[in-house]
């Protein structure tokens, strides 16, 4: 899903790239309201299954490499926080439709094994959807602080690479240091993905079973 969103957004940037400088000027003229609105919109929308990749590319297109990375990470952290507490407060029924998927069970098993390291390694795997990992984390035993810190550091490599790509796609001139960081981040992300995928949980997590009707005396006797 994230790859499709990236491809569609890339096509849009290609066809409308001539108008990007005007858009950037409008964003700059808006002052602090533009980045604030971007982070809030990013945080609100990314709680849902909509891929956050759209906002990551848009951050590079609209704000450039350095500011774009900061805003994309801030929006991601806001979305992760909102999803985590929303699921914990409302309960598992909010995500019942995902609870029986093999990917969901696989993720929960690794989160129940450890906190920060499991979250960090799982965030480095591009194939694990952002929203799905948020939901699974809220239903696991992971604590909020390791969850948030692991999320921020785990999404950083991929975020840097995509934001720099978005900036360069519209004729931006990313700092050479950002290009180097982007390359190193990609290698870190690839390494983390391989390591995380090879790790086995101590105990496989069980899917969430939806609550059934109350047990009657006849059922107990049987």
- Do the domain assignments include residue 220? no
- Do the domain assignments include residue 221? no
Instruction: Concatenate the DSSP letters of all residues of 88-110 into one string.
Output: HHH-GGGGHHHHTSHHHHHHHHH
The alpha-carbon radius of gyration of the chain (Å, integer) is: 20
- Do the domain assignments include residue 173? yes
Mean pLDDT score across all residues of the chain: 75
Report the pLDDT value the prediction gives residue 142, as an integer from 0 to 100.
86
- Do the domain assignments include residue 149? yes
pLDDT higher than threshold 90 for residue 45: yes
- Do the domain assignments include residue 72? yes
Structure token pair of residue 96: 């019942």
Owning domain of residue 34: 2-208
Q: Confidence class of residue 100 from pLDDT cuts 50, 70 and 90?
A: confident
Overall domain count for the chain: 1
Instruction: Concatenate the DSSP letters of all residues of 115-159 into one string.
Output: SHHHHHHHHT-TTS-HHHHHHHHHHSS--HHHHHHHHHHHHHHHH
Candidates 144, 131, 132, 52; CA nearest to 100 is 132
- Do the domain assignments include residue 214? no
Report the pLDDT value the prediction gives residue 144, as an integer from 0 to 100.
92
- Do the domain assignments include residue 217? no
> Each residue of 29-41: pLDDT tens digit?
878 899 999 999 9
Mean pLDDT to the nearest integer, 172-189 = 63
In Å, what is the CA distance from 216 to each residue of 33, 45, 211, 220? 58, 43, 15, 6
- Do the domain assignments include residue 222? no
Percentage, residues of the chain above pLDDT 90: 19
């Amino acid at each position: 899903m994230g790859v499709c969103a990236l491809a569609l957004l890339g096509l849009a940037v290609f066809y409308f790239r001539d108008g990007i400088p005007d858009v950037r000027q409008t964003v700059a003229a808006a002052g602090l309201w533009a980045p604030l609105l971007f982070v809030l919109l990013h945080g609100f929308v990314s709680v849902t299954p909509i891929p956050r990749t759209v906002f990551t590319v848009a951050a590079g297109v609209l704000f450039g490499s350095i500011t774009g990375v900061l805003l994309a990470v801030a929006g991601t952290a806001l979305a992760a926080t909102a999803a985590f507490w929303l699921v914990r407060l409302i309960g598992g029924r909010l995500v019942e439709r995902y609870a029986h998927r093999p990917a969901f069970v696989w993720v929960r098993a690794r989160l129940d094994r450890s906190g920060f390291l499991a979250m960090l390694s799982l965030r480095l795997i591009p194939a694990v959807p952002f929203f799905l990992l948020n939901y699974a984390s809220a239903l696991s035993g992971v604590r909020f602080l390791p969850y948030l810190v692991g999320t921020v550091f785990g999404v950083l490599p991929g975020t840097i690479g995509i934001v720099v790509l978005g900036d360069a796609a519209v004729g931006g001139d990313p700092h050479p240091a950002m290009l180097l960081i982007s390359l190193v981040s990609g290698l870190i992300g690839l390494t983390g993905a391989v390591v995380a995928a090879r790790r086995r949980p101590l105990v496989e997590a069980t899917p969430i079973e939806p609550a059934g009707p109350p047990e009657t005396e006849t059922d107990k006797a049987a």
